[in-house]
Structure 1
């Protein structure tokens, strides 16, 4: 009986429209970090940061996804001691 339940779960996942991770990268150092991630539906994110001083991390990055209306939304940003500064682009 357990086999039938497990098989049904795998079958449901196979036919579901669930994005799959196609890229993943992480790098963490004492004074910096970087990561990238992408899925099969076109969503992706990348971010890297560097330690400016013991209290400030300078970060830049972007993320992108397809909206429910089918438009590609891309956000690029920086964050530093002056705050978070995003730029949103719709295509």
Structure 2
């Protein structure tokens, strides 16, 4: 379950920012699909959804972003499937 790894990384970011307040926190978990979104007041945002394709193949898509100390927003969008984790990283001024 690759989404567990991604979720663990995002959870580590949240723990590193313990003083942040949660602005939005939604989740829905079903046997064959899931969705969550998290937004903090320190410019960290994450969203992920996944669905079970076939008996064991999860298709997971998502994105997360954070603000660097230099004031730039880093946004990562990704897809994880049976072929692996496929991220795309962009920096927004």
* TM-score, structure 1 as length reference: 0.79
How far off is 1:48 after superposition?
0.1
CA distance in 2, matches of 1:18, 1:31: 34
Aligned to 1:35: 36
Aligned to 2:74: 73
CA distance in 1, matches of 2:54, 2:48: 19
Q: Which runs of 5+ in 2 are unaligned?
A: 1-17
CA distance in 1, matches of 2:68, 2:90: 12
* TM-score, structure 2 as length reference: 0.77
CA distance in 2, matches of 1:54, 1:67: 40
CA distance in 2, matches of 1:54, 1:69: 45
SS of structure 2 residue aligned to 1:54? coil
Q: Which runs of 5+ in 1 are unaligned?
A: 1-16
Aligned to 1:61: 62
How far off is 1:53 after superposition?
1.8
